[in-house]
């Protein structure tokens, strides 16, 4: 993995608006050579910069933006005539639940929603943060990131279904640096879900997959990068390849950036009308695919996960187009 261009594409008009209104700086915009752009400043930070700190939910309860939108980030993919906007999640291990804070969840990972985000609703809230506009903004964000029975945007599928897509690699890079920023004195605690997997490692090869990888990663690094309790980081501003892989594996379940990219593409491949048919016990594959969720947990016990097999055709397809990463 390597850091890709900071401003390599034409600035999407909505991102330009945010820049013109001083809500983001140019160094917040990350991009790839194939037209994908994202903002490294979270939705909540953008809102708070404008003085919008709370929003009413559908039941009228007043919620804190920083507890619900701190993990969500704007991105854009090229459409037929203009950019299509979406939201992606990059979450570190949080502790809101144990602290009694009402929030959106604590489990770390990355989620890419293939549902288009209506930026007009967001702009209306920024320019006139009335209670009604803040409520509409909260509903629109949750429609994209959480509400059931949503449909993907064709431009999202068209972009992410390509093994050539560069965005997954940029997102993986952004994710590990984002998570590393929460380290203290060069140490980052592994997520709770990983600790649970480590304790079960002798029960099944699937539980041993990540712990075994981390041991191999330590050997290749010639030092203890992860001791299954903490990840040890030498320079948070310049992560080594081994530090990046330890963070990615323990927080997303993917032991390579190619595996991470293959998982995103795997979700995009299920965005068809046929996949909307509900299956007995399993539900609709489409409903699971419309948001690609890369997280640490028991996912590989719940269905096919070819992207975890580094010798699979899906991972090799990624490697073919991104051999230098």
pLDDT digits (tens, 9 = 90+) for 63-120: 999 999 999 999 999 999 999 999 999 987 655 555 555 555 668 899 999 999 999 9
The whole-angstrom separation of Cα 277 and Cα 270 is: 11
Our count of domains for the chain comes to 1
- β-sheet bridge partners, residue 90: 110
Residue 229 lies in a domain: no
Query: pLDDT tens digits, residue range 13-31?
Result: 999 999 999 999 999 999 9
Q: To 5 degrees, how large is the angle CA 194–CA 195–CA 199?
A: 115
Give the pLDDT confidence score for residue 106 in this predicted structure: 63
Helical residues (DSSP H) of 65-166, grouped into ranges: 65-68, 119-127, 131-145, 154-160
Across the beta sheet with 37-39, what order do the strands follow?
Answer: 29-31, 37-39, 72-78, 83-91, 109-113, 291-295
- What is the spatial distance between Cα 110 and Cα 171, in angstroms, rounded to a whole number? 9
Cβ(166)–Cβ(9) below 8 Å:
no
Give the SS3 label for residue 166: coil
Only one residue has tokens 């009413």, namely 56
pLDDT band at residue 222 under the 50/70/90 scheme = very high
pLDDT higher than threshold 50 for residue 175: yes
Report the distance separating Cα 50 and Cα 43, nearest Å: 11
pLDDT for the residue 265: 98
pLDDT on residue 114: 98
- Check residue 105 and give its pLDDT: 62
Residue 312 maps to a domain: no
Q: What gap in Å lies between CA 68 and CA 176, rounded to an integer?
A: 21
Round to whole Å and give the CA distance between 299 and 305. Answer: 8
Mean pLDDT of the chain: 91
Tell me the whole-structure pTM to 2 decimals.
0.93
Range of the domain at 147: 13-163
78 assigned to some structural domain: yes
Distance, in Å, from the CA atom of 303 to the CA atom of 300, rounded to the nearest integer, reads 6
- Give which of 119, 137, 146, 150 is closest to 65, Cα–Cα: 137
Residue 225 lies in a domain: no
Residue 189 has pLDDT above 90, yes or no: yes
Is 69 inside a domain boundary?
yes
Residue 158 resides in a domain = yes
pLDDT of residue 101: 53
User: Has residue 31 been placed in a domain?
Assistant: yes
Out of 30-39, 134-143, 282-291, 308-317, pick the least confident.
282-291
In a domain, 265, yes or no: no
Q: What does the block give as tokens for 164?
A: 């050539």
pLDDT at residue 177, rounded to an integer: 97
Model confidence at 205: pLDDT above 90: no
Confidence of residue 4 (pLDDT cuts 50, 70, 90): very low
Reported as a single tens digit per residue, the pLDDT across 123-134 is 999 999 999 999
The pair of structure tokens assigned to 279 is 């299956």
Quick check: 239 pLDDT over 60? yes
Instruction: Give the distance between the most distant pair of CA atoms in the chain.
Output: 57
* Inter-residue contact 292 to 111 (CB < 8 Å): yes
């Amino acid at each position: 993995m390597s850091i890709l261009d900071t401003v390599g594409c034409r600035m999407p008009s909505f991102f330009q608006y945010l820049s013109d209104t001083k809500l983001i700086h140019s160094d917040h915009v990350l991009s790839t050579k194939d037209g994908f752009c994202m903002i490294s400043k979270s939705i909540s930070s953008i809102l708070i910069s404008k003085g919008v700190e709370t929003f009413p939910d559908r039941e009228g309860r007043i919620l804190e933006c920083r507890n619900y939108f701190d993990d969500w980030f704007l991105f854009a993919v090229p459409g037929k005539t203009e950019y299509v906007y979406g939201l992606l999640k990059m979450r570190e291990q949080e502790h809101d639940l144990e602290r009694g804070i009402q929030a959106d969840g604590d489990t770390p990972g990355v989620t890419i929603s293939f549902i288009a985000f209506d930026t007009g609703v967001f702009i209306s809230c920024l320019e006139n943060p009335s209670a009604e506009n803040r409520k509409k903004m909260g509903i629109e964000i949750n429609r994209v990131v959480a509400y059931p029975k949503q449909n993907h945007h064709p431009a999202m599928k068209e972009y992410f279904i390509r093994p050539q897509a560069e965005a997954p690699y940029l997102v993986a890079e952004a994710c590990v640096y984002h998570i590393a920023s929460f380290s203290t004195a060069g140490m980052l605690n592994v997520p709770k879900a990983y600790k649970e997997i480590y304790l079960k490692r002798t029960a099944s090869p699937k539980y041993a997959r990540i712990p075994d990888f981390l041991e191999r990663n330590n050997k290749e690094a010639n030092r203890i990068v992860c001791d299954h309790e903490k990840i040890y980081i030498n320079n948070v501003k310049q992560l080594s390849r081994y530090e990046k892989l330890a963070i990615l594996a323990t927080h997303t379940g993917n032991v390579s950036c190619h595996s991470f990219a293959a998982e995103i593409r795997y979700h995009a491949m299920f965005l068809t009308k046929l996949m909307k048919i509900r299956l007995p016990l399993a539900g609709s594959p489409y409903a699971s695919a419309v948001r690609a969720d890369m997280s640490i947990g028991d996912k590989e016990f719940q269905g096919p996960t070819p992207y975890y097999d580094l010798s699979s055709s899906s991972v090799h397809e990624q490697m073919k187009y991104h051999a230098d990463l």
